[in-house]
Amino acid sequence: MLTPLSLTSSFGFGDRLGLATPGHIAAVRRTNFMPVFAQQSVRENARTDRTPQQVMDDAKRAVEAAKWDSPWGADADHLKALDDIPPFVEAGYTFFTVDPGEYVDNSVDTDSFEILKQKVSAFNWEELSVLYLNQNGEQVWGDFAAESLMRATIKYGRAIQHAASMFKRLFQMKAEFDFEVSVDETDSPTTPLEHFYIANELTRLGVRFTSLAPRLIGRFEKGVDFIGDLNALDNELEKHAAVTSHFGTYKLSLHSGSDKFNVYPLLVKYWGGRIHVKTAGTSYLEALRVLASYEPDLFMKIYSLGCEHYKTDKKTYHVSAELNDLPNTNDLPSLLNDFHARQVLHVTFGSALVQFGVELKAALIKHEAAYYDGLKTHFEKHLLLLKEPE
Ligand SMILES: [Zn+2]
């Protein structure tokens, strides 16, 4: 049953090829996670040359074939503009992720106090200071003074307004839906105070959001585990959790959520059953793992093309793999366990599909049992670590 999932723990399985849902179903069965089987961003739709309707149809077909009769969701991911919305509403999506990242002012972290004063005059500063600061200029919630309020306002004020207009447009078109606000792809991390500010302003503007994806500290790169200081992340997440529990109205959402095995226990520790985790490209990497074992020639063509296109294709992603550090090996499946090869293959999926999409899909259909098995194993590993203790 395609439906909004609200505050239940949920897991997003992006499927760029339209063939992975049976494996996703096998992994999520018998867990408490509510799955999102159709999930594609506007950028992914462009790179895979699929429409929101096609993504939905592929997921539905698999759901019906597997007789999955529990709730599931469909996520219109990283919507940036008002015009992005209608095709997803028409195709019946239930979960809308709005990414107002273009409206975030990333320079605020280094702006001088003089510049801050100028910039903040574009906002309703008087109202905000009455709302957020006591008479001594200190924040009512936490220890945050006029300057940090200015920074939060300038950094996120326009993004919040944009997210609110996206919500209003959707609300004119649909009565019930999950609504997520994501600022995970911005340059600088969202501090816990900024997180509070975003959640509070959205609430004040009447935006009923069910999840929020802050940009966390450290690096959450595509297809690999967390890079950074895990203890520092632990401390930071504890503060973010204080914010989410203050509101109690939304889930924490983790984007680029695949393969972050070191982080999942922390999510469980602080949020228990109130999280949403998004994955996408990792299912494509599992598809390539099948080729590496069963269709080595095709795999090598995709790998070589990936190496050629990596420099260009990586520009819109957070990755740090280096071509010079690719392993020199004839053991093709082992490349799918290598940090650098995984990222190279991950971000060049669009180029690979343009050239080898037809062959790739035919190969996966031929080896579908191996593909579904690989997906099941890979995602069971994720879901087990994300499971709340009984
Ligand atoms: Zn994201």
Distance 78 CA to ligand 1 centre (A): 7
Please tell me whether residue 123 adopts helix, strand or coil conformation.
coil
Is the pLDDT score of 117 beyond 70? yes
Distance 189 CA to ligand 1 centre (A): 14
The model's pLDDT over 170-219, given as tens digits with 9 standing for 90+, comes to 999 999 999 999 999 888 899 999 999 999 999 999 999 999 999 999 99
Buried b vs exposed e over 259-282: b needs ≥16 C-beta within 10 Å? bbeebbebbbebbeebbbbbbbbb
Q: When comparing pLDDT for 121 and 317, which is higher?
A: 121
The model's pLDDT over 247-264, given as tens digits with 9 standing for 90+, comes to 999 999 999 999 999 999
Give the pLDDT mean for 17-35.
97
Distance 366 CA to ligand 1 centre (A): 32
DSSP 189-239: PPPHHHHHHHHHHHHHTT---SEEE---SSB--TTS--BS-HHHHHHHHHH
Cα–chain-centroid distance for residue 195?
A: 17
Distance 45 CA to ligand 1 centre (A): 14
Distance 280 CA to ligand 1 centre (A): 10
Distance 319 CA to ligand 1 centre (A): 13
Average predicted confidence (pLDDT) for the chain? 95
pLDDT in the model for residue 139: 57
The model's pLDDT over 352-369, given as tens digits with 9 standing for 90+, comes to 999 999 999 999 999 999
Q: When comparing pLDDT for 3 and 48, which is higher?
A: 3
- Under 8 Å between Cβ of 2 and 69: no
Is the pLDDT score of 296 beyond 90? yes
Is the pLDDT score of 141 beyond 80? no
pLDDT in the model for residue 185: 84
Is the pLDDT score of 142 beyond 80? no
pLDDT in the model for residue 144: 59
One of 180, 185, 221, 286 is an active-site residue; which one? 180
End-to-end Cα spacing for the chain: 27
Give the pLDDT mean for 214-230.
96
- Under 8 Å between Cβ of 336 and 285: yes
Distance 168 CA to ligand 1 centre (A): 22
Q: When comparing pLDDT for 332 and 145, which is higher?
A: 332
One of 58, 77, 178, 184 is an active-site residue; which one? 77
**Residue percentage of the chain with pLDDT more than 90:** 89
Give the pLDDT mean for 110-137.
88
Please tell me whether residue 75 adopts helix, strand or coil conformation.
strand
Task: Name the burial class of residue 154, with classes exposed (0-12), middle (13-18) and buried (19+) by CB atoms within 10 angstroms of its CB.
Answer: buried
Position 151 confidence tier, pLDDT thresholds 50, 70, 90: very high
Q: Enumerate residues with CB within 5 Å of ligand 1 (an ion).
A: 184, 255
The model's pLDDT over 313-326, given as tens digits with 9 standing for 90+, comes to 999 888 999 999 99
Q: When comparing pLDDT for 329 and 273, which is higher?
A: 329
Separation CA 262–CA 233 (nearest Å):
11
The model's pLDDT over 50-103, given as tens digits with 9 standing for 90+, comes to 999 999 999 999 999 999 999 999 999 999 999 999 999 999 999 999 999 999
Distance 322 CA to ligand 1 centre (A): 22
Q: When comparing pLDDT for 143 and 386, which is higher?
A: 386
pLDDT in the model for residue 333: 97
pLDDT in the model for residue 244: 96
Q: What's 139's DSSP letter?
A: B
pLDDT in the model for residue 83: 97
Is the pLDDT score of 114 beyond 90? yes
Number of Cβ within a 10 Å radius of residue 167: 21
* 77 is an active site residue: yes
pLDDT in the model for residue 165: 98
Q: Strands, DSSP E only, in the chain? A: 10-13, 34-41, 73-79, 95-98, 178-182, 211-213, 251-254, 275-279
The model's pLDDT over 93-113, given as tens digits with 9 standing for 90+, comes to 999 999 999 999 999 989 999
- Under 8 Å between Cβ of 150 and 117: yes
Integer Rg of the chain from CA: 21
Cα–chain-centroid distance for residue 194?
A: 19
